[in-house]
A = this chain, B = another copy of it.
Amino acid sequence: MEEKLDLLRQHFEELFALTDDEWNFVQSHFQYKSLKKHQFLIQAGQAVDFEYWIIKGLVKAYSIDEKGKEHILQFAMENYWVSDHCAFQHQEPGSIFVDCLEDSEFFCLSLENREKICLQVPAVANFFRIKSNHGYINLQQRILSLLTMTVESRYEYLLNKLPKLIQRVPKKLIASYLGVSRETLSRFNS
Protein backbone atom coordinates (compact mmCIF):
# COMPACT_ATOMS: atom_id res chain seq x y z
CA MET A 1 0.00 0.00 0.00
CA GLU A 2 2.90 2.35 0.77
CA GLU A 3 4.11 2.25 -2.84
CA LYS A 4 0.61 2.91 -4.09
CA LEU A 5 0.30 5.98 -1.90
CA ASP A 6 3.72 7.07 -3.14
CA LEU A 7 2.38 6.97 -6.68
CA LEU A 8 -0.46 9.23 -5.64
CA ARG A 9 1.92 11.62 -3.92
CA GLN A 10 4.07 11.75 -7.05
CA HIS A 11 0.94 12.50 -9.02
CA PHE A 12 0.14 15.48 -6.79
CA GLU A 13 3.72 16.67 -6.76
CA GLU A 14 3.98 16.73 -10.54
CA LEU A 15 2.25 20.08 -10.18
CA PHE A 16 2.92 21.41 -6.69
CA ALA A 17 5.26 20.18 -3.96
CA LEU A 18 3.83 19.14 -0.59
CA THR A 19 5.53 19.03 2.77
CA ASP A 20 5.47 15.67 4.58
CA ASP A 21 2.95 17.07 7.02
CA GLU A 22 0.71 18.23 4.22
CA TRP A 23 0.96 14.87 2.50
CA ASN A 24 0.16 12.94 5.65
CA PHE A 25 -2.92 15.06 6.11
CA VAL A 26 -3.94 14.66 2.49
CA GLN A 27 -3.39 10.93 2.15
CA SER A 28 -5.44 10.17 5.26
CA HIS A 29 -8.49 11.37 3.33
CA PHE A 30 -8.30 8.70 0.66
CA GLN A 31 -9.47 5.14 0.84
CA TYR A 32 -8.40 2.16 -1.22
CA LYS A 33 -10.64 0.07 -3.46
CA SER A 34 -10.02 -2.81 -5.82
CA LEU A 35 -12.31 -4.31 -8.47
CA LYS A 36 -12.16 -7.14 -10.98
CA LYS A 37 -12.84 -6.86 -14.70
CA HIS A 38 -16.55 -6.35 -15.45
CA GLN A 39 -17.33 -5.02 -11.99
CA PHE A 40 -18.99 -1.64 -11.61
CA LEU A 41 -17.38 1.36 -9.99
CA ILE A 42 -20.46 3.54 -10.53
CA GLN A 43 -24.00 2.70 -11.63
CA ALA A 44 -26.66 5.02 -12.98
CA GLY A 45 -29.38 5.72 -10.44
CA GLN A 46 -27.14 5.20 -7.45
CA ALA A 47 -25.35 7.66 -5.20
CA VAL A 48 -21.88 8.73 -6.32
CA ASP A 49 -19.92 9.03 -3.12
CA PHE A 50 -16.41 9.40 -4.53
CA GLU A 51 -14.15 10.49 -7.27
CA TYR A 52 -11.54 7.91 -8.05
CA TRP A 53 -7.89 8.10 -8.88
CA ILE A 54 -6.81 5.02 -10.80
CA ILE A 55 -3.73 3.35 -9.39
CA LYS A 56 -3.82 0.54 -11.93
CA GLY A 57 -6.26 -0.76 -14.50
CA LEU A 58 -8.68 0.55 -17.07
CA VAL A 59 -12.31 1.60 -16.91
CA LYS A 60 -14.95 2.95 -19.24
CA ALA A 61 -17.49 5.64 -18.34
CA TYR A 62 -20.62 5.53 -20.45
CA SER A 63 -24.27 6.35 -20.63
CA ILE A 64 -27.00 4.13 -22.00
CA ASP A 65 -29.65 5.67 -24.25
CA GLU A 66 -33.34 4.79 -24.54
CA LYS A 67 -32.57 2.12 -27.14
CA GLY A 68 -30.07 0.48 -24.81
CA LYS A 69 -27.10 1.68 -26.81
CA GLU A 70 -23.90 2.46 -24.95
CA HIS A 71 -22.09 5.78 -25.52
CA ILE A 72 -18.58 6.09 -24.15
CA LEU A 73 -17.89 9.33 -22.35
CA GLN A 74 -14.37 8.51 -21.23
CA PHE A 75 -11.76 5.82 -20.95
CA ALA A 76 -9.61 6.13 -17.87
CA MET A 77 -6.46 4.30 -16.86
CA GLU A 78 -3.45 4.70 -14.54
CA ASN A 79 -3.12 8.26 -13.17
CA TYR A 80 -6.54 9.32 -14.44
CA TRP A 81 -9.34 10.66 -12.29
CA VAL A 82 -12.80 9.31 -12.96
CA SER A 83 -16.29 9.72 -11.56
CA ASP A 84 -19.76 10.80 -12.52
CA HIS A 85 -18.52 14.32 -11.85
CA CYS A 86 -21.91 15.89 -12.28
CA ALA A 87 -23.67 13.63 -9.83
CA PHE A 88 -20.69 13.71 -7.47
CA GLN A 89 -20.48 17.49 -7.40
CA HIS A 90 -24.20 17.92 -6.81
CA GLN A 91 -24.48 14.84 -4.59
CA GLU A 92 -27.36 13.39 -6.56
CA PRO A 93 -27.98 9.95 -8.11
CA GLY A 94 -25.69 9.26 -11.05
CA SER A 95 -26.69 8.97 -14.67
CA ILE A 96 -23.71 7.11 -16.07
CA PHE A 97 -22.02 3.77 -15.56
CA VAL A 98 -18.36 3.17 -14.92
CA ASP A 99 -17.07 -0.38 -15.13
CA CYS A 100 -13.73 -2.10 -15.33
CA LEU A 101 -12.27 -3.31 -18.62
CA GLU A 102 -9.39 -4.78 -16.60
CA ASP A 103 -8.83 -5.62 -12.94
CA SER A 104 -8.37 -2.20 -11.37
CA GLU A 105 -7.35 -0.42 -8.17
CA PHE A 106 -8.43 2.99 -6.98
CA PHE A 107 -7.98 5.64 -4.36
CA CYS A 108 -11.37 7.09 -3.46
CA LEU A 109 -11.99 10.70 -2.41
CA SER A 110 -15.33 11.89 -1.05
CA LEU A 111 -16.63 15.38 -1.80
CA GLU A 112 -16.39 16.33 1.85
CA ASN A 113 -12.79 15.16 2.03
CA ARG A 114 -11.89 16.84 -1.22
CA GLU A 115 -13.17 20.17 0.02
CA LYS A 116 -11.44 19.61 3.35
CA ILE A 117 -8.01 19.02 1.85
CA CYS A 118 -8.44 21.83 -0.69
CA LEU A 119 -9.27 24.37 1.99
CA GLN A 120 -6.58 23.10 4.33
CA VAL A 121 -3.77 22.71 1.81
CA PRO A 122 -3.66 25.41 -0.89
CA ALA A 123 -1.29 23.34 -3.04
CA VAL A 124 -4.05 20.74 -3.34
CA ALA A 125 -6.59 23.37 -4.35
CA ASN A 126 -4.14 24.51 -7.01
CA PHE A 127 -3.54 20.93 -8.07
CA PHE A 128 -7.22 20.31 -8.70
CA ARG A 129 -7.59 23.73 -10.30
CA ILE A 130 -4.92 22.91 -12.87
CA LYS A 131 -6.16 19.34 -13.36
CA SER A 132 -9.73 20.54 -13.97
CA ASN A 133 -8.44 23.11 -16.38
CA HIS A 134 -6.54 20.47 -18.34
CA GLY A 135 -9.63 18.30 -18.35
CA TYR A 136 -11.69 21.21 -19.64
CA ILE A 137 -9.21 21.81 -22.44
CA ASN A 138 -9.30 18.14 -23.44
CA LEU A 139 -13.07 18.11 -23.55
CA GLN A 140 -13.13 21.27 -25.66
CA GLN A 141 -10.85 19.57 -28.14
CA ARG A 142 -13.04 16.51 -28.18
CA ILE A 143 -16.08 18.68 -28.89
CA LEU A 144 -14.24 20.39 -31.70
CA SER A 145 -13.24 17.02 -33.11
CA LEU A 146 -16.88 15.88 -32.98
CA LEU A 147 -18.01 19.08 -34.70
CA THR A 148 -15.30 19.51 -37.31
CA MET A 149 -13.65 16.20 -38.16
CA THR A 150 -14.75 13.20 -40.17
CA VAL A 151 -14.97 9.84 -38.45
CA GLU A 152 -11.77 8.76 -40.13
CA SER A 153 -9.66 11.67 -38.94
CA ARG A 154 -11.15 11.45 -35.45
CA TYR A 155 -9.94 7.87 -35.35
CA GLU A 156 -6.46 8.78 -36.57
CA TYR A 157 -6.32 11.64 -34.08
CA LEU A 158 -7.19 9.27 -31.23
CA LEU A 159 -4.71 6.65 -32.44
CA ASN A 160 -2.11 9.34 -32.37
CA LYS A 161 -3.07 10.83 -29.03
CA LEU A 162 -3.56 7.64 -27.02
CA PRO A 163 -1.86 4.79 -28.89
CA LYS A 164 -1.51 2.64 -25.74
CA LEU A 165 -5.20 2.94 -25.02
CA ILE A 166 -6.22 1.53 -28.40
CA GLN A 167 -4.30 -1.68 -27.72
CA ARG A 168 -6.18 -2.25 -24.49
CA VAL A 169 -9.71 -1.49 -25.71
CA PRO A 170 -11.93 -3.41 -28.19
CA LYS A 171 -12.60 -1.48 -31.37
CA LYS A 172 -16.33 -1.49 -30.86
CA LEU A 173 -15.78 0.62 -27.75
CA ILE A 174 -13.50 2.97 -29.65
CA ALA A 175 -16.29 3.31 -32.20
CA SER A 176 -18.72 4.19 -29.44
CA TYR A 177 -16.27 6.77 -28.06
CA LEU A 178 -15.94 8.33 -31.51
CA GLY A 179 -19.71 8.44 -31.93
CA VAL A 180 -19.80 6.04 -34.87
CA SER A 181 -21.05 2.52 -35.46
CA ARG A 182 -18.78 -0.48 -35.08
CA GLU A 183 -19.33 -1.40 -38.72
CA THR A 184 -18.41 2.02 -40.06
CA LEU A 185 -15.21 2.16 -38.04
CA SER A 186 -14.31 -1.32 -39.22
CA ARG A 187 -14.61 -0.22 -42.85
CA PHE A 188 -12.06 2.53 -42.25
CA ASN A 189 -9.44 0.34 -40.59
CA SER A 190 -9.29 -2.06 -43.47
Residue of B74, B119, B133 touching A89 (CB-CB under 8 A)? B133
A65 touches B (CB below 8 Å): yes
User: What B residues does A136 contact at CB under 8 A?
Assistant: 85, 132, 135-136, 139
Is the beta-carbon distance between B144 and A73 smaller than 8 angstroms?
yes
A54-74 interface code vs B (CB 8 A; 1 in, 0 out) = 000000000101000101111
User: What B residues does A137 contact at CB under 8 A?
Assistant: 85-86, 89
Q: Report the stretch among A26-34, A38-46, A123-131 that lies at the interface.
A: A123-131
User: What B residues does A125 contact at CB under 8 A?
Assistant: 122, 125-126, 129
How far apart are the CA atoms of A179 and B72 in the complex, in Å?
A: 19
A75-104 interface code vs B (CB 8 A; 1 in, 0 out) = 000000000011001000000000000000
User: What B residues does A134 contact at CB under 8 A?
Assistant: 89
In angstroms, how far is the closest chain B Cβ from the Cβ of A120?
Answer: 10
How far apart are the CA atoms of A74 and B143 in the complex, in Å?
A: 10
A162 touches B (CB below 8 Å): no
Which residue in chain B gives the minimum CB-CB distance to A118? B126
Extra contacts besides A85-B140, A132-B132 (20): CB < 8 Å: A65-B148, A69-B148, A73-B140, A73-B143, A73-B147, A86-B137, A86-B141, A119-B122, A119-B126, A125-B126, A125-B129, A128-B133, A129-B129, A132-B133, A132-B136, A136-B139, A139-B140, A143-B146, A146-B146, A146-B147
